[in-house]
Amino acid sequence: MRTSLYALLFLTLSLVSYTSEAGFEAGKHYVELGVAQQVSADGKIEVREFFWYGCQHCYRLEPFLEAWLEKRPPDVAYVRTPGVARRWISHAKAYYAFEALGITEKVHRPFFDAIHKGGQKLEDESSIKAFLADYGVDGETFANAFNSFGVRTQVQKAKQLNFRYAVESVPSITIGGKYKTSASMAGGEQQLMQVIDHLIEKVRQQR
């Protein structure tokens, strides 16, 4: 009898835990996209972040994303896409210039820090160039990348992605080309990471 009671208690606690983890609701904590988008993540589940360097909420999310990325499952690919509202274009170009120069991981967080902790504007080519000088990036090299055809092409692709995913605010996170969520929908940054994990598992189970 005691064994049966322990088994029942274990089952009850397991169900409560599962209900808690799976208690995220479509339309509240996330939305299902009207049209699933094709992703190019080499068979992995794509988690895509839409962000803007000037966004305080994006900046607040960074440490949570960094911690999550350290334990990201091997079947998950993480991709950044800059927002492309009119006044954000310089930052979108800067991001793709960082990518082209292979310096993203070196300057991504410091660039955020300079804006939100250092009070720097960094809204045009010359100010961004001055910022990068402290990281050993040649000004002419950056300018060539910033104004390159390749970067312009990437910005155009970002515009298409923002449109296809109906991105109305940042940060927004999409999972598997099927779902979209945000910290405001999830109830905070920590809860957002839980929703992301929940949706990753949801996509995984649909395969």
The pLDDT tens digits along the chain (207 residues) read 545 544 444 444 444 444 345 699 999 999 999 999 999 778 999 999 999 999 999 999 999 999 999 999 999 999 999 999 999 999 999 999 999 999 999 999 999 999 999 999 999 999 999 999 999 999 999 999 999 999 999 999 999 999 999 999 999 999 999 999 999 999 999 999 999 999 999 999 998
- What pLDDT shows up at residue 13? 45
Q: What is the pLDDT of residue 8?
A: 46
Domains of the chain: 26-206 (3.40.30.10)
pTM, two decimal places: 0.88
The pLDDT of residue 41: 72
SS (H, E, C) the chain: CHHHHHHHHHHHHHHHHHHHHCCCCECCCEEECCCCCCCCCCCCEEEEEEECCCCHHHHHHHHHHHHHHHCCCCCEEEEEEECCCHHHHHHHHHHHHHHHHCCHHHHHHHHHHHHHCCCCCCCCHHHHHHHHHCCCCCHHHHHHHHCCHHHHHHHHHHHHHHHHCCCCCCCEEEECCCEEECHHHHCCHHHHHHHHHHHHHHHHHHC
**pLDDT value, residue 22:** 60
